[in-house]
Structure 1
Amino acid sequence: MHVLEKQHEPADVAAVALKAYARVVDGWGLTQREAAFLADMSESTWKRAKKPGFSGELTKDQMLRLSAVIGIYKSLELYFSGKIAGSWMTRPNSGPLFSGRRPVDTAIEGGLPQILHIRTYLDALRGGA
């Protein structure tokens, strides 16, 4: 006899991801516009999406963005102290991926590929690679 895993509905997964993402961007002090663009949404969609009971669907790209941003948050919290972790994405950075710009700006401009580069960069810092 096999035990079947409970299948999670895409809307349930999206709701959990949106709730976590909202906490992250609030913690980083992002504007509505920055939070929306980082998630590849319009501002009006983001305003609706962050409310409980949002019934819209997220694209695969949006879900990957949310997941990667949550991973960035987790890496920052593990690698840096609370104050630095909370401001790292919104402070100018001279690191190789940022050229003196704020990581959040490069992530918005570069989309999912840049978000994933930032996540990999932080994972490498944390892992000592």
Structure 2
Amino acid sequence: MNLAFAYPRSRFEPAVFVDLNDKSERERLSKSALKGFFKLAEAWKLRDEDARELLGGLSSSAFYEWKKNPDRLLEVDRITRISYLIGIYKALHIIYGKKLADEWVTLPNKNVIFAGRTPLAYMQAGGLIAMQTVRKLLDARRGGL
């Protein structure tokens, strides 16, 4: 008798892995990532200094140049930041109506994670790891947790 152990089949299909260390992948994604980020910043009514901080502390001159001409190559860190922020934007729009979804990041929040601060202040202070935490929180809420 031959018993073969195997994981049961699943309907889960993993997302296609994107290697952001590959320059050609970053070239492919950079322009659309920046365009998406600037639309998100507009929808959230972010001040330019707040938007620059979310991008990792970008200088004013670079920020305005990027806004005017988003056709450039971004570093892994910046593409990752933008990816988290766009995921946060999407999750908020699934969970809440448009008005609250776009205001949520600038409203004080009593969740233990934020300790009364706004999610924006939390993400600015904590950088990439904080963005990941907010994204996980919202994805969990989206999933009913």
TM-score (norm 2): 0.78
Query: 1:53/1:126 Cα in 2 relative to 1: closer, same or farther (>3 Å)?
Result: closer
Contact 1:68 1:116 in 2 (8 A): yes
Q: Report the AA paired with residue 127 of structure 1.
A: G
Q: Does 1:68 align with 2:84?
A: yes
The number of residue pairs the alignment matches comes to 122
Contact 2:105 2:120 in 1 (8 A): yes
Instruction: Tell me which residue corresponds to 1:17.
Output: 33
Q: What is the 5 A alignment of 1:1-129?
A: 10-40=26-56, 41-55=58-72, 57-129=73-145
Bigger fraction of residues in helix: 1
Q: Distance in 1 between matches of 2:119 and 2:34?
A: 21
Instruction: Tell me which residue corresponds to 2:7.
Output: none
Contact 1:48 1:54 in 2 (8 A): no
Structure 1 residue 43: Cα displacement: 2.4
Larger-gyration structure (1/2) = 2
Segments of 5+ residues of structure 1 without an aligned counterpart are: 1-7
Contact 2:35 2:70 in 1 (8 A): no
TM-score (norm 1): 0.88
Segments of 5+ residues of structure 2 without an aligned counterpart are: 1-23
Contact 2:30 2:71 in 1 (8 A): no
Query: 1:48/1:117 Cα in 2 relative to 1: closer, same or farther (>3 Å)?
Result: same
Contact 2:85 2:131 in 1 (8 A): yes
Q: Say which SS state the counterpart of residue 30 (structure 1) adopts.
A: coil
Identical pairs, percent: 35
Contact 2:108 2:117 in 1 (8 A): yes
Q: Distance in 2 between matches of 1:31 and 1:18?
A: 16
The alignment yields a C-alpha RMSD, in angstroms, of: 1.6
